[in-house]
Amino acid sequence: MRVKNVFSVVGSVLLMISPAAMAEEDAIVVAEEAAVPSPPAAAQAETAQAATQAETAQAASPYSTNWVQQMAPVRPCSSGFKFSGYLNAGGLFNDHGAALNMNSVNSDNQIGFDGAYASIVKQARTGYGVADWGWGLDAMFGRDARFLSSYTGFDSRMETGHRSDGTESYGFAFPQVYGEMAVNNLAVKMGHFYTPFGYESARADQRFFYSFGRHFETTPITHTGALATYKGIAGMEISAGWVMGENNLFERDYGESLAIGSIKLLDGNRTSLKYDILKGKGAMFDEGGDLFRNDVVFTTQLDPLWETALVFNYGKFDSDGGETTKYTTLGGYLFYDLCPGWKIGSRAEWQRQWGDSDSQEFIDLGLGVNWNLGGDRLLLRPEIRYDRAVEPIFADGTEDSQLCLGFDVLYKI
């Protein structure tokens, strides 16, 4: 990983006040004047003089060119719009034939429409000497609205029946509505946006498996607030901000107020290490209280065919009513590009949830295939999944284990 040498920065500051740096500034002025149209002979003389002075200044100040680049006047720029989305439908069938299962997957033995998703983003570009603005708007309709909708605000879930009797529920969700401003390498996002937490995306087109892992259950999905991200250090992204809770819009039913932070280390496109933290006044189980969450996500490309990811999280919630709830998850993923258009993936997780009154442990094992058709736009995702719990929670609370077979069809717009 490459991190900018502190001594280089100090050296650049000293060089600002050095005669060599002053000489370089004179060289830049002369070079700009040389660009003005003039008689051929005079222009050649001025150009030669500017080149000589610039070479002298550069030889005496090896860091000065980089310094001038970094401190260049901020200039506005305009980035384009990006549209993305998908259509997704499938089903996850459990071996008990049960319609209600205590996990966050659609394991209700029905084929249904999971989502029509649309996203329009104007990316705020960053970089030395750049000022830009952007915004994002995401909207979806389908069964997955239960994961992406807020418990407060204008997005809703229109119930078509009761899940306990086997009928499906569909709804609308607006997981992102935000604006963004960027100056140099600092960008500030304000509004409603996806959390930096976790590994698996809530968007079906940005994750390998059709079903969600246990790690997904114990991370927030969206926030409302402000998040600043700095990318001025090579190989590092640092984010910090304030949010008014988790998975809610602009209402704070429990006085939520949370500080959020994230740091990500990058080694090109091969390896990343991310740490996220959230702490403050939060809400869980329809009750306010003190909330703490943190997680670690490590990903690496082992070689052109193999890649892996490791995830860990821990959280604690002390409710205003005096109850304490804790959880921790440890998981791993392994992926292999079998051949063009075919990719195999596996997932293994262990999770424990415990509190003052009860505790529970889970494991889940998953194996899936991604089959790309039609130039990567059409994707088929069959999978097999096994879940086991210490206490019976499956099949309406009568079984402690469950085997699921699932598949979905995903069309990327």
Report the pLDDT value the prediction gives residue 162, as an integer from 0 to 100. Answer: 36
Report the pLDDT value the prediction gives residue 347, as an integer from 0 to 100. Answer: 98
**DSSP class of 305:** S
Instruction: Assess whether pLDDT exceeds 50 at residue 79.
Output: yes
Amino acid sitting at position 262: S
| pLDDT tens digits, one per residue of 241-296 | 999 999 988 888 889 999 999 999 999 889 999 999 999 999 998 899 999 999 99
Report the pLDDT value the prediction gives residue 105, as an integer from 0 to 100. Answer: 55
Report the pLDDT value the prediction gives residue 146, as an integer from 0 to 100. Answer: 80
Report the pLDDT value the prediction gives residue 49, as an integer from 0 to 100. Answer: 52
Average pLDDT, the chain: 81
**Six-digit token pair at 60?**
């005496």
Instruction: Give DSSP secondary structure letters for 160-227.
Output: -S-GGGT---EEEEEEEEEEEEEETTEEEEEEEEE-S--SS-SSGGGSS-SSPPHHHHTS--EEEEEE
| pLDDT tens digits, one per residue of 17-66 | 344 444 444 444 334 444 444 445 444 545 555 444 444 444 433 333 33
| pLDDT tens digits, one per residue of 88-142 | 999 888 888 776 555 545 567 788 899 999 999 999 999 888 999 999 999 999 9
Report the pLDDT value the prediction gives residue 67, as an integer from 0 to 100. Answer: 35
Structural domain boundaries of the chain?
6-70, 75-412
Which of 370, 315, 366, 299 lies closest to 339 in space, CA to CA? 370
| pLDDT tier, 403 (very low <50, low <70, confident <90, very high otherwise) | very high
Q: pTM of the predicted model, to two decimals?
A: 0.78
Question: Are the beta carbons of 404 and 105 closer than 8 angstroms?
Answer: yes
Give the helix/strand (H/E) hosting 68: helix 64-70
Which of 89, 241, 108 lies closest to 178 in space, CA to CA? 241
| Percent of all residues in the chain with a pLDDT value above 90, rounded to a whole number | 58
| pLDDT tens digits, one per residue of 198-225 | 999 999 999 999 999 999 989 999 999 9
**DSSP class of 66:** H
Report the pLDDT value the prediction gives residue 30, as an integer from 0 to 100. Answer: 37
Report the pLDDT value the prediction gives residue 69, as an integer from 0 to 100. Answer: 38
Fold annotation for 75-412: Porin (2.40.160)
| pLDDT tens digits, one per residue of 136-187 | 999 999 988 888 876 544 444 444 333 444 456 788 899 999 999 999 999 9
Q: Answer positive or negative: Cα dihedral of 145, 147, 153, 157.
A: positive
| pLDDT tens digits, one per residue of 306-355 | 999 999 999 999 999 999 999 999 999 999 999 999 999 999 999 999 99
Distance from the Cα of residue 125 to its chain's centroid: 17
Q: Tally Cβ neighbours within 10 Å of residue 370.
A: 21
